[in-house]
């Protein structure tokens, strides 16, 4: 641990049970919201701006939430984030204009950053570095289950009750979590106060994070795999529905199937970590990532109007993604227990920056006639696969050899 907890352990749900629920605040806020976008656009005139503002706020806010969690402790920042998440969701449910909806979603994105930064930093507080990937893999398995259910529940809520009640459901989820964490989540990191030797916000702490070679390697791994997947999430509706002519209902099973594969891959990750260790595990994952992207690329060349190679390649890529995410997120903070909040926030920001830049660049090559076919979606995955192989077989083994030396 980075410091002794500042309060006595609380009775109630163990942190290992809370972690999946906390991490799942992200798919609850995004995946369940997607089916509501058409109705929001019909009622308020636009919907895409609220989603864009949410993602940007989430990415930038992590840079602030990490230092706050190191300065004041995980518990107060986490509870404040859960409370703000609920209030913002209720405000969005009552919004009467696009501007108010976007403002509420920005606050919700900020709150979600606090939740995810604190929950990921608490993993490093409570577990030694070599156990972090296993713990994150278990947490992300639970996130995958929620990601599978969220769009289905969101679609049902929109159809039965209307889009505003989907946001009410988000608020209820956050309030339930707030109650559980208030009762069960003890402080995992000693807040740094006064003139203590480990006083918070030391000068150059960001430089210390970025000077750490394992942080750079593992954070780059997580950012590359997420950047490729984000391009799929952003462009797959246009490819499958617009280019290949798949119905929206049929398309809905594509991300749902990906969630099933993701859950399976996090379980595989846990077994591989126990048997071969983190570096060999991500090497296997990188081969899966590159193989999946290559299957899609061959499909674009040989069967450009068939969805089967795209579906098969996506499944294989997601298998690798489910290995890289827990290893990358845990590895980025493994050597920085005293700056876990800052390391988590910079790693999360790098992931969102990579996703935003890759997604916006790929989207430039999509036109109304889909003249580029599925290539704008496939090429980013292929580049991500190549980068992942380079990190797994080149960068990480050198770090491992230097540490042994």
Q: pLDDT tens for residues 41-68?
A: 778 876 666 777 888 888 889 888 888 8
Angle at the Cα of 15 from the Cα atoms of 77 and 198, rounded to 5 degrees = 50
Tell me the C-alpha distance between 306 and 279, whole Å.
Answer: 36
Residue 8's pLDDT is: 40
Q: Residue 5, Cβ neighbours under 10 Å: how many? A: 18
| Whole-number Cα distances in Å, 323 to 201, 261, 270, 275, 331 | 33, 11, 8, 14, 12
Residue in the block written with tokens 């109705």: 39
DSSP code, position 6: S
CA distance 70 to 64: 10
Q: Could you report the per-residue pLDDT of 132-189, keeping only the tens digit for each?
A: 788 888 888 878 888 777 777 777 887 788 888 889 999 999 999 999 999 888 888 7
Higher pLDDT, residue 196 or 83: 83
CATH number for the segment(s) 15-190: 1.20.1250.20
> What's the predicted TM-score (pTM) here?
0.78
Exposed, middle or buried: residue 3 (CB in 10 Å: 0-12, 13-18, 19+)? middle
pLDDT per position as a tens digit, 326-352? 899 888 888 888 777 888 889 888 988
Locate the domains of the chain by residue range. 15-190, 207-404
**Per-residue model confidence as pLDDT tens digits over 69-103:** 888 888 999 999 999 999 999 999 998 888 898 89
Give the rounded percent of residues in the chain with a pLDDT score beyond 90. 38
Q: Which CATH architecture has domain 207-404?
A: Up-down Bundle (1.20)
C-beta atoms surrounding 51 within 10 Å: 17
pLDDT tens digits, 345-367: 898 889 888 888 888 888 888 88
The percent of residues above 70 in pLDDT, for the chain, comes to 90
Same fold, 15-190 and 207-404: yes
């Amino acid at each position: 641990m980075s410091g002794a907890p500042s309060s006595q352990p609380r009775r109630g749900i163990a942190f290992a049970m809370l972690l999946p629920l906390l991490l799942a605040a992200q798919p609850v806020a995004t995946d369940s919201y997607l089916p509501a976008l058409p109705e929001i656009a019909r009622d308020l005139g636009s919907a895409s701006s609220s989603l864009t503002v949410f993602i940007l706020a989430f990415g930038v806010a992590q840079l602030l939430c990490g230092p706050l969690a190191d300065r004041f402790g995980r518990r107060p920042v986490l509870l404040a984030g859960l409370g703000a998440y609920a209030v913002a969701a209720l405000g969005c449910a009552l919004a009467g204009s696009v501007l108010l909806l976007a403002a509420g979603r920005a606050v919700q994105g900020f709150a979600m950053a606090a939740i995810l930064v604190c929950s990921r930093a608490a993993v490093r507080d409570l577990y030694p570095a070599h156990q972090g990937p296993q713990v994150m893999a278990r947490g992300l398995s639970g996130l995958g289950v929620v990601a599978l259910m969220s769009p289905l529940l969101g679609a049902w809520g929109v159809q039965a009750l209307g889009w505003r009640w989907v946001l009410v459901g988000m608020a209820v989820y956050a309030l339930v979590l707030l109650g559980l964490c208030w009762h069960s989540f003890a402080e995992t990191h000693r807040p740094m106060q006064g003139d203590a030797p480990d006083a918070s916000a030391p000068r150059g702490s960001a430089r210390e994070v970025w000077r750490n070679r394992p942080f750079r390697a593992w954070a780059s791994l997580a950012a590359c795999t997420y950047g490729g997947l984000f391009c799929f999430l952003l462009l797959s509706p246009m490819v499958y529905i617009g280019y290949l002519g798949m119905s929206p209902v049929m398309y809905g099973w594509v991300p749902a199937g990906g969630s099933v594969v993701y859950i399976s891959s996090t379980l595989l990750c846990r077994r591989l970590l126990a048997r071969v260790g983190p570096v060999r595990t991500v090497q296997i994952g990188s081969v899966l990532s590159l193989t999946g992207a290559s299957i899609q690329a061959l499909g674009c060349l040989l069967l450009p109007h068939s969805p089967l190679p795209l579906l098969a390649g996506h499944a294989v890529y997601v298998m690798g993604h489910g290995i890289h995410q827990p290893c990358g997120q845990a590895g980025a903070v493994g050597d920085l227990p005293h700056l876990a909040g800052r390391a988590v926030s910079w790693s999360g920001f790098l992931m969102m920056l990579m996703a935003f830049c890759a997604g916006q660049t790929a989207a430039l090559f999509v036109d109304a006639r889909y003249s580029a076919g599925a290539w704008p979606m496939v090429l980013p995955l292929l580049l991500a696969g190549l980068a992942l192989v380079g990190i797994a077989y080149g960068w990480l083994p050198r770090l491992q050899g230097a540490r042994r030396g």
